[in-house]
Amino acid sequence: MNFDALNAIAKAMVAPGRGLLAADESTGTIKKRFDSIGVENTEANRQTYRDMLFTTEGFEQYTSGVILFEETLFQKSLAGQSFSDLLQSKGVIPGIKVDKGAQPLANAHEDETVTEGLDGLRARLEKYHAAGARFAKWRAVINITENAPSDYAIHVNAHALARYAALCQEAGIVPIVEPEVLMDGDHPIDVCEEITDLVLDAVFAELSAQDVYLEGMILKPNMVISGKKCPEQASVQEVAERTVKVLKRRVPAAVPGIAFLSGGQSDVDATAHLDAMNKIGNLPWTLTFSYGRALQAAALKAWGGKTEGLDKGRAAHLHRAKMNGLAAQGKWNKGLEKGA
């Protein structure tokens, strides 16, 4: 294992003012996005949409890497260049989603899942590395309900995350470790804080037990936030303070960076929360973004599946990338959103 190379990639992924574009939607997930704008979910349309995102002039100033779906890693741009080569030519690191999705957890409550995809992963990672991928992503899903999560569900998912991470590092690929505590539900922020704390504690215990090289990984957690249906929504500052508190308690300083998921927040909320955390300062790791919908929603709507909408889609993508690049440095303010 080349520890120096893994550390160098991880540091590049969280370079100052840059974050990750999560464009790894499965075929089923992107269908929902396309349905919202009345676009048919065909391979050609998926190729055109992702080509629009990756050919946005200047997005690389704010984007260190892109998480790709397997189809996209082996797909070509409309100009005939592989998407992997296109991104690398812009100084953007190609990454790959490697999990096979969350499935019902045996002998558990119906609200609990475990992420599958470990079978055959070693061979797939070799193939992805050969295609240019230098980091990977695996998402574990933790649901908060009256009956969940159980210690069983937390630890099964933590164990799988660590197994995946170890296999990635063996293949020369930096693992993004993503334990997502969902913001669905009506729970208050206190409950999210408690569960996030338990989950991160379990995840780093497993990473240690499986000898994962912390300097060669990135953490992609949820923010500590009120449930979507909670009548009392925490302020931006409270979200920032509680999130940083939990991270300082549970995430070793050896981890180069933390790239948050947006988890269903609005575009501006996700940016504001990231900015407020960076304004706190005195943090042992870099805090940046790894957003999917919060970077893409405006671009998707502006494009609308029409050729004449491509430039509008690129402009919307660039704006959101720039806003989050500023937030990753604590330099964003709401007045800058007028550029939209």
The pLDDT, as a whole number, for residue 339 is 57
pTM: 0.97
Taking the C-alpha atoms of residue 27 and residue 317, their distance in angstroms, rounded to an integer, is 21
Taking the C-alpha atoms of residue 206 and residue 174, their distance in angstroms, rounded to an integer, is 17
Q: Tokens for 170, please give them.
A: 């063996």
pLDDT tens figures, 67-117 = 999 999 999 999 999 999 999 999 999 999 999 999 999 999 999 999 999
112 is catalytic: no
pLDDT tens figures, 215-233 = 999 999 999 999 999 999 9
Secondary structure of residue 71 in the 3-state scheme? helix
220 is catalytic: yes
> Residue 146's CB: how many other CB atoms inside 10 A?
8
Q: Tokens for 315, please give them.
A: 């402009």
Q: The domain spanning residue 146 has which CATH number?
A: 3.20.20.70
The domain tally of the chain equals: 1
Tokens 């296109």 map to which residue? 86
Where in the sequence is the domain holding 157, given as residue range(s)? Answer: 3-339
97, 137, 220, 322: the active-site residue: 220
Sequence-separated (6 or more) residues with CB below 8 Å from residue 146: none
pLDDT tens figures, 230-284 = 999 999 999 999 999 999 999 999 999 999 999 999 999 999 999 999 999 999 9
112, 178, 180, 193: the active-site residue: 178
Q: Are 295 and 322 in contact (CB under 8 A)?
A: no
Q: What phi and psi values does residue 234 have, to the nearest 5 degrees?
A: -65, 150
SS (H, E, C) 23-67: ECCCHHHHHHHHHCCCCCCCHHHHHHHHHHHHCCCCHHHCEEEEE
Residue type, 190: D
